[in-house]
Amino acid sequence: MRNEWFKRLYLSLIIILVATLSFGVGRLTAVPRGEGIKMEYDPSLSAGSLEPTARSTQTASVVQALPSDASGVIGSKNGSKYHYSYCPGAKQIKETNRITFNTASEAEGAGYSLAGNCKPR
C-alpha cells in the first residue's frame, strides 16, 4: 500500500517537472516582438576627451542634432490615421505617401486621428 502511494507521488512529480521544464524552454526560445535596442557610439562624446564643463555643452548639442520629426507625427496621403515617429505604423508608410505634421493637434485639425496601436509617450 505504501509503495503504491510512493509510485503515484513520484509519477506526479515527474509530470509536473517535465511540464515546467517544457514551459521554460518554450519561453526562452520565443521570438521577441518589436524592435530591439539600437546603441550607437559617438567617439566625440567619450568621457576621456571632454572637460566636465564641455561635456554638458556637448550633450546639449546632441539634443539639438536630433531630427525635427522626432517630436512630429506622420500621416499617409491615402489614410486617415496619424502615427508618432517612434510607432511601428509610421515605419510602414512609404516615403512618397508621407505627410509630416509638427504636432498631433495639427494632424487632428487636418482630419487625421491617432492610430490604435500608437500611444503618446
The total domain count for the chain is 1
Do the domain assignments include residue 119? yes
Query: Which residues are CB-neighbours of 87 under 8 A, at least 6 positions away?
Result: 115, 117, 118
Instruction: Give the bridge partners for 62, in sequence order.
Output: none
For residue 10, what pLDDT band results from cuts at 50, 70 and 90?
very high
Q: Does residue 10 fall inside a structural domain?
A: no
Name the residue range of residue 92's domain.
73-121
| Separation of alpha carbons 83 and 73, rounded Å | 6
- The whole-number pLDDT of residue 1 equals 66
What backbone phi and psi angles, to 5 degrees, belong to 58? -65, -40
Measured between alpha carbons, how far is 109 from 63 in angstroms, rounded to an integer? 29
Q: Would you say residue 86 lies in a domain?
A: yes
- Residue 99 included in any domain: yes
Does any domain span residue 98? yes
Is residue 19 pLDDT above 90, yes or no?
Answer: yes
From the number of C-beta atoms within 10 Å of its C-beta (0-12, 13-18, 19+), residue 79 rates as middle
* Position 21 pLDDT exceeds 80: yes
pLDDT of 101 above 70: yes
* Alpha-carbon gap, residue 86 to 115, rounded angstroms: 12
60 domain-assigned:
no
Q: Cell 516615403 identifies what position?
A: 95
Q: What is the pLDDT of residues 42-74, one digit of tens each?
A: 777 765 554 544 444 444 433 333 343 345 789
